[in-house]
Amino acid sequence: MAGKMVRCHRCHEVFDADAGPCTKCGAPYQPPVVPPQPLDVPYVERYAGTPFVPSLETAPIAPLPRRNFPVLLIGGVSLIGLAIVIAIVAVSGGLASGPTAPPVFVVKPRTDPPSPPPTLPASVALTLQQLNDPKLSADVVVQSVADVNDVSLGKHERHAVSFVGQIAAGNEDGIVVEEGITREYRVVGGVVFVKVSPSARWSTAASIAGYLVIDPTFGLRKPQMLQLVGEETQDGQLVNHFHTTSSWAPDVTRIAMIDTSGFLFKPEVIVLNLWTSQDGSPMKAVFSATNTATNGTKLLDIQTTYTFTNVGVPQKIEVPGPSPSGSLRASPSK
């Protein structure tokens, strides 16, 4: 048998008063107030002639002036509107007085403004001067590999070249290994001498391939072509690390030391990372030129590394003459 089912005076939920407070909002049961029973005899007749009932003759009701009627009407309408607003607020408060979910605080992520690129050090002027000096002296080692993939034919080609030698006063001397063939080139005063291993005999050539000429290299002519990455430590020495910007437009064949004119694909992403000493002398450079298909396959991938030592140290490269090895390598100038 059902208990004493009542309706909550706050949230209007129906619950069993004998079982406890409202199961929804927790308000205790409040029994309804019984209105007073009306008297058998009207109040006026019962207390007629007593001070509780004034005489109608002594307390006439004065008529209201006609001109005040619109004012009272407007006031009445305003009071009704105010009562409706109060009732809405009261009902809303009553409905919201029950258990509510805890507030959720939304934290907007902080967005830091982009940091400006580091300012180029003053030594970059010397770096650009040396890299564009046709009379620069240095020992240079170059390792370069180019991979070309023809996806449609399933064909892969690899081209590799290396150079170990010297540049000095506009001359060049070094051993080049290209496509498995080893040659020693010596350029003195514009005259090209070449020797193909294992032969010990030198011969002259009309010219040397432009992409085998080391100095000047990289085509870095303006400071706007470089951006400072930061300072790094290499082999216990503090160096400056740069990389090229969009203002740089290199000769890919020249930097890679590989004839790329016959390649099926042209590079789309080109970048040069350059490391220099604190005084600005070039130490190392890594060149990258790639072309990647939409599926991630590298159609073209060129990776070239330069290493510079003895930068600025005077060297002398001479015309090859008779010697036990058939050549006379460059020697430091006295």
Which pLDDT score, from 0 to 100, does residue 243 have?
96
Phi and psi at residue 12, in whole multiples of 5°?
70, 20
Residues 6+ apart with CB under 8 A from 223: 120, 124, 125, 128
Check: CB of residue 330 under 8 Å from CB of residue 166: yes
Phi and psi at residue 91, in whole multiples of 5°?
-65, -40
Which amino acid is located at 61 in the chain?
Answer: I
Which pLDDT score, from 0 to 100, does residue 19 have?
79
The CATH fold assigned to 124-321+327-331 is outer membrane lipoprotein receptor (LolB), chain A (2.50.20)
Which pLDDT score, from 0 to 100, does residue 334 have?
37
pLDDT of 236 higher than 80: yes
DSSP three-state, residue 309: strand
Tell me how many degrees the CA angle 301-304-306 measures, rounded to the nearest 5. Answer: 170
180 or 285, which is more confident? 285
Which pLDDT score, from 0 to 100, does residue 76 have?
52
Which pLDDT score, from 0 to 100, does residue 69 have?
46
Q: What is the pLDDT of residues 23-35, one digit of tens each?
A: 878 788 788 776 6
- Arithmetic mean of pLDDT, 16-42: 75
236 or 42, which is more confident? 236
110 or 226, which is more confident? 226
Check: CB of residue 163 under 8 Å from CB of residue 212: yes
pTM of the shown model = 0.62
Q: What is the pLDDT of residues 245-273, one digit of tens each?
A: 999 999 999 999 999 998 989 999 999 99
Residues 6+ apart with CB under 8 A from 267: 252, 289, 290, 291, 300, 302
- Arithmetic mean of pLDDT, 175-200: 92
Helix (H) or strand (E) holding 83: helix 69-95
CA distances, 322 to each of 165, 182, 200, 299, 319 (Å)? 20, 20, 10, 47, 10
Closest CA to 194 of 320, 323, 325, 331: 320
3-state SS track over 29-46 = CCCCCCCCCCCCCCHHHH
Q: What is the pLDDT of residues 87-139, one digit of tens each?
A: 555 555 554 455 566 776 666 677 777 767 689 999 999 999 999 999 999 99
pLDDT band of residue 152 (cuts 50, 70, 90) is: confident
Phi and psi at residue 50, in whole multiples of 5°?
-105, 165
Mean pLDDT of the chain: 82
Question: Can you spell out the DSSP letters for 139-190?
Answer: EEEEEEEEEEEETTTTEEEEEEEEEEEEEETTEEEEEEEETTEEEEEEEETT
Strands (E), the chain: 5-7, 14-16, 138-150, 155-168, 171-178, 181-188, 191-196, 203-205, 226-234, 237-244, 269-277, 282-292, 298-309, 315-316, 331-332
Measured in whole angstroms, the distance separating CA 11 from the mean position of its chain's CA atoms is: 54
DSSP three-state, residue 28: coil
Domain boundaries in the chain?
Answer: 1-60, 124-321+327-331
Check: CB of residue 277 under 8 Å from CB of residue 239: yes
pLDDT band of residue 324 (cuts 50, 70, 90) is: very low
